Amino acid sequence: MATAYRWSPEIPEGLSNGRANVARGETGTGRYFEQTGIPRFARNDGKMPLSANSGGGPSRKVAAMTTRSLRRELMGGNCKKPAMAEFYTVKRIDNSRLVHHLEPAKMRNLFRTAALGGIIAVFFMLYVYQHFRCIDMSFQLEDLKGKQTQAAELNGKLKLEIATLRDPRRIDVIAQHELGFKRPEANQVREYVNLDGAQVAALQYTRLNRAP
């Protein structure tokens, strides 16, 4: 008789009515087991032995079935392997009080490796960052150089304009024809001592000490 073990507190239906012998028991480990016997029929023409309470009815029906057909029925109909006693260990394990032991050496190695890898990663990222930052700053630098060049060009143009406006001939023409200035005679231009007060007033009073 094949014996199957299943981790179940209950006996499945259909197996407790004589089709199989279910034995319940308790192993030394505290496990419960159920033995679902799938009787291996002896060679009696393939007929099932009579059960303990065989008297007819279902047992008869069972008795009339061959082992294979019975297995098939029991197993859902497509069982090709020979019946074996299968023991299902129902095991209840409580890990709530388990303490996971960490090996310090392994952890150190792990951290060391992680740190090294992190440093390498940081350096790599830093290198990449610098590379692209450098390119970015190069763009900015070229942009600033362009602005500087434009400013220098504008400066040059303004200096040219200033020099043109300062042309003595141009100023002479403006002074004489537009403002009505007259060119001084040689005797009108005198050296003078810069006295306190308005410069124009000082010009009027320039006269060195004169001998009587």
Contact 75, 40 (CB under 8 A): no
* Minimum separation from the CB atom of position 61 to other proteins (A): 34
Tokens of 108: 């150190």
Tokens of 164: 């043109």
* Minimum separation from the CB atom of position 197 to other proteins (A): 3
Q: CA 35, CA 7: separation in Å to the nearest integer? A: 10
CA 9 remoteness from chain centre: 47
- Given the complex with other proteins, which of 57 and 146 has the nearer CB atom? 146
Which residues, other chains included, contact 27 with Cβ-Cβ below 8 Å and sequence gap of 6+? 33
Instruction: Please report, as residue ranges, which positions from 141 to 160 form the binding site for other proteins (by CB under 8 A).
Output: 141-142, 145-146, 153, 156-157, 159-160
* Minimum separation from the CB atom of position 205 to other proteins (A): 5
Q: CA 16, CA 36: separation in Å to the nearest integer? A: 9
* Minimum separation from the CB atom of position 35 to other proteins (A): 27
129 binds other proteins (CB under 8 A): no
- The site for other proteins (CB under 8 A) is made up of 135, 138-139, 141-142, 145-146, 153, 156-157, 159-160, 163-164, 166-169, 172, 186-192, 195-201, 203-211
